[in-house]
Amino acid sequence: MANNGLPALGRVKLSDLIPSEGIPSDSYKLSISTLSQSLAQYSAAIIQFSASEGALLRSGLDSARLYFHQRSLYPSADMIHTGDSREWCKTTGYYADPQLWQENYDYRPGLTPIESNNAIECAPGGLSDIFSLLGKAARDILDAISFYLNLRSSPFIEVLDNVPLRNREISSSVLSVCCNARQSFEGAQSHNLTAQEDGQLIMYPDHEHQVDKSLISLVKSDKAGLHVRDFHGRWVLVDGDLGPQEAIVYPGLALYQATAGYVSPALYRTEINNMQCSIYGRCFLAFKLMPKSMTSLSCSEMRAAGHGVDAQFQIPITVDDFMQRSHPIDQIFNRHSIQNFNFPASQDGCMKTSSRRRKNNSRSKPLPPSKRLRLVAQRVLKERVQDIAEKKGIKLRFCNLKDCEKHIHALDSPCSNIRMEIGWPPGVPFVHPHDLPNKAKIGFLEAYEPGSTHDMELNMMESGQGSQH
């Protein structure tokens, strides 16, 4: 992926990510491939909205500038805080974080913001419509990622808010209207914001590295300044050339936990070097799709899809506990693990195969396609099927090839329950892949690693034609 990845952030039309009944369209599959590769390489992607949706986002930014411009020069003490983790699903209204040089207005359906004088606060305009737009977009993006991971449809529906909210429910997800480095935000000027990069003076807040605890985050800004760390550890400006109808999307820690580490969260920071000359600073809209507090994050969907789950993700964790825990960034981003959203072009869904293939490809003499097919099938059995069996407490006992050709057509057979439990491909005898004919090996691999046998089939056809000549 790193060698043949996208030259820049992937751009995807939101309309192409909306699923429909039946067989997925070519545009849907292409958009999901672009989205997933961009998230793998850059931990972010660009989402393109329709013209009317883009106009709504731009009007929201205009309203944000006016809102912060009319506020007092510096917020009162009761409106300053740095994000208490215990209040993660209760923030609403205006507050300021001097350490980040940032002011926020949080819109959370189900809560009415109250100012310190017990008066209802006047909010920026259009928040309800923007919340609805970005919330729907975030759910469509989450479903697109699920499709790429070979999960069932809407696998995270149990941990998301009801649509619409029920009576007296409070939204876990939040829309934040934010402003960085407003010129009149004088109290933040005492903080150290400078850093040296490539001989130029760049300004960042004290806590320059941030990770959202969301499932999915969507950001629309009026000025460039959002940097995200890519697959190689380099900082990339992701909103430098955003169009009027475009926004940035990136995954958060909750999705990292729910996918057993397959989807890495975005590590980001904000540059405010060119904003001090502006009286408005840098305004942006940030929507965070959050899990409900009364649910748990587990990797059951990943296991059901046949993905390996590391020990640290085996035990479900309550969302409220997860949000209040500290998550050391170095431990997440320095994990030398195969489990990240860094898929090769074949879309097999796991880095295990790509790393092993690179080792196999380093041999001076390539293996014959038939032998390579057998070795890959054996490896998949060892890594995928055995892992599923162990987690379900199943002891694999393979059948004889001739006997099992009858078993697969019988309603009741010695291996029927085992085949069903581990998702053994229909029509393939339940024997060790070493004993399977090549055609059955292909069916076996397609079930556990879709797309992995395409090149092998071509090679086998070419080698067969060469032998005939």
Residue 139 has pLDDT above 60, yes or no: yes
**pLDDT of the residue at 371:** 73
Torsion of CA 361, 8, 207, 329, to 10 degrees: -20
Is beta strand 226-229 parallel, antiparallel or unpaired with respect to 268-270? antiparallel
What is the token pair recorded at 177?
């209207």
Q: What is the pLDDT of residues 256-267, one digit of tens each?
A: 999 999 999 999
Q: Report the pLDDT averaged over residues 107-130.
A: 80
Residue 27 has pLDDT above 90, yes or no: yes
Q: Kind and range of the H or E element at 406? A: helix 401-407
**pLDDT of the residue at 184:** 61
**pLDDT of the residue at 51:** 96
**pLDDT of the residue at 398:** 84
Of 451 and 380, the structure prediction assigns the larger pLDDT to 380
Q: Report the pLDDT averaged over residues 426-441.
A: 82
Q: What is the pLDDT of residues 51-80, one digit of tens each?
A: 999 999 999 999 999 998 888 666 665 566
**pLDDT of the residue at 14:** 97
CA distance 288 to 460: 48
Per the prediction, the chain carries an average pLDDT of 79
Phi, psi of 146 (to 5 degrees): -60, -40
Of 82, 70, 93, 297, nearest to 177 (Cα)? Answer: 93
Q: Measure the CA angle with vertex 209, ends 197 and 280; round to 5°.
A: 80
Q: How confident is residue 224, by pLDDT bands cut at 50, 70 and 90? A: very high
Of 234 and 372, the structure prediction assigns the larger pLDDT to 234
Percentage with pLDDT > 90 across the chain: 42
Range of lowest pLDDT (29-33, 234-238, 350-354, 370-374): 350-354
User: What does 243-305 look like in DSSP terms, one character per residue?
Assistant: -TTEEEEEE-HHHHHHTTTSSPPPPEEE--TTTTT-SS-EEEEEEEE---TTSEE--HHHHHT
Q: How confident is residue 146, by pLDDT bands cut at 50, 70 and 90? A: very high
**pLDDT of the residue at 30:** 94
Range of lowest pLDDT (200-214, 220-234, 334-348, 361-375): 334-348
Q: Report the pLDDT averaged over residues 127-143.
A: 97
**pLDDT of the residue at 298:** 93
Q: What is the pLDDT of residues 159-216, one digit of tens each?
A: 999 999 999 899 999 999 999 878 766 544 444 444 444 444 455 554 567 899 999 9
Range of lowest pLDDT (4-8, 176-180, 284-288): 4-8
Look up residue 235 and give its DSSP letter. Answer: E
- Residue 189 CA neighbour count, 13 Å, CB half: 9
Q: Report the 3 state secondary structure along 53-82.
A: HHHHHHHHHHHHHHHHHCCCCCCCHHHECC
Q: How confident is residue 376, by pLDDT bands cut at 50, 70 and 90? A: confident
Q: What is the pLDDT of residues 293-314, one digit of tens each?
A: 889 999 999 999 988 888 889 8
**pLDDT of the residue at 196:** 47
**pLDDT of the residue at 454:** 54
Q: How confident is residue 158, by pLDDT bands cut at 50, 70 and 90? A: very high
What is the token pair recorded at 101?
């040089």
Of 382 and 334, the structure prediction assigns the larger pLDDT to 382
Residue 403 has a CB neighbour count (10 Å cut-off) of: 14
Measured CA to CA in angstroms, residue 67 lies from 80, 94, 110, 319 at distances of: 17, 10, 22, 33
